[in-house]
Structure 1
């Protein structure tokens, strides 16, 4: 361990023998970093990847030089399909400890498989296209694209989340459930997956089981032996039947039978049928009343659920947008670092140009500052040349953009100031033109450059324009 105050090597002492600095807090921080790393390792071994990421981030907060924690964090990111975040952690680890670092092997192994690396890049690009389709309302195209992405990169957690959101919007809850269960197999405690599953369960009224199903075979029992039933033959002696020989008597008997049957139906069956009809009608009325009351309550609950679902979708969409912007920043940082390592400073400058550094972590910002300090001269030259070229083509908007950014790097270059002032003048922006001419006068007093700038200010203030004014007054 090194003293954080003077850098001297110490062992178990609580006071630095060189500068007398109290090392107790530093030792406690290092112990906490190791403790969180061990807990994160346990989480990763049981595929609790979200928990592992959280604990490993805590470990790095207490000790950003904890190389095993940083390398393991990269592995966990890679396991969730976040190859960009994984590479950024490994690059930081390699810069901290260049020798005997497992991160070097991870980076080389990934770079040695260009097909796999290209596949990861393609899936990220396709995911961004699918996300753009969702913004434009083309959910069908986005769903087809996401299914192809997950076939190529089945560990991309955010791909599962976006596809599940599309299914939730379509109210295809069973498809969303299947997709989210696949995501849970990769990361058992992902908060977004659990939140979406809760939404599916509330909509379907069925609790999702995350345990694997077990199939049991039913054993067929032995069938009981059939008993043979033997029937004894019985001889029945029937007496001889008596038949009416009179047709009138036969018709009379039939008529009496019909009358008796009709009376029985009228007095016995009709009252019971009427009572049954009335009873069913009363039951239906009560049932319909209860149903209407329940439907009103259900409609109110559904409106609340729809509002919560919309809030959930909006929150998830914002998270996805933030993740995409952060991914782009880290991709550019990786390109810049690779070009800087290969001494291709022009490519490094192009990668750093326009990067939003607010999205970078503290460690990544240190790498950015290191590369930027080395290539800012190259960036200035490129911006200055691009501004000159745009000015010559009379593309004054482009010239102002490039020259302004060159001025932010080096604000005392006469060519940049002069071209910027004339770009504003030719565009018709009088005030900005005067401000830049005045800046030339302030920075180059009592020179021919200052006199030329003063003459242009006088002409602009007098609102006089001549054909000769369209050219710059460079020495």
Structure 2
């Protein structure tokens, strides 16, 4: 034992021979810690793991630096299937004693095996999922998850106890007793296991008592019992008659026993092999299902990402192209400009390009430079185009070709909005062609834009006739 003050090795005296510190209480604490450690070691040797846990924890309460107790506590946890708790104790032990510590071997044993780490991780996830199913009332799903947990970690006592509790809740007493017996094989003195097992035995013992009572009753019908001293004599009623029958009965019983022995010797191995095969297949299917689920989730995430990216690209494209055709309008304006620069006299070609541009539909998407260039081209070719369209439209009007005259007169007024005659004759074409609404709109413009003129007066007369239904 080493002095807590100076590190000198202590003697049988109650003081340190190196620094003189009083170590009497310190020695008692160390003795108590070692006493609890020895008690835990003895209990662990007989698989009383719960008792060993209690003793080792007490030992560490008195001396947290008791490396042997901490390493043994980790081993007890590991034996109970609590791998995470075991690793925690071993890591603490390694930090307290970095060198010459067997905890290094324990940690390397687990961390060097990636498959074991994955198995531990899956065990924790599936056990937590089973608890969630229990809270949700899904007992069947919880049983399936716990069976998967025990296939990965057969020593996890908590999983055995929870599975037994689910069997008890479902009144499957034999299955519950089987799981609790497995717990006892791992930890012989677990209080929770004993409490569950007591409840199960209380439910199973009455049935065995009823069977024994019925058997005794049936024996009393076929035999006479009487007391001879301290012995109870059972004598069959028809002893002679039953000799021949008993011979055949004994032969039948022998045959049945032989068949039963054969079944007990052969069937368990086959059943165990079948169970092992089923468990392996179930584990493979479960792993495949988990992998497919992860793949589906990943693909769904990719689809969502691609959908968002497509929407963003479409938004960017709409910003470049414009939902109202801004890019096409710009293209037509550039073609019109190119045609004018190539041949200024070819105003027909320039007008064809300009006619394909609808400024009203562009709205605010048309930039100031776009509008300025459009107005400049229109101003350059407008007067001559207006005269050409007016002459052709007026000629069609006089020949009563109103449908042909309407677009020409409309373009004549579009390119020269000072030409009131073009607007007036356009209104007349609308009226005579049967388009009353357009005619009323055109007459109203003539009256508004060219007041005091003859065509304004005549427009008022025609407008009144239209409104009166003449």
Give the shorter-chain TM-score range. Answer: 0.3 to 0.5
Give 1 or 2 for the bigger CA radius of gyration: 2
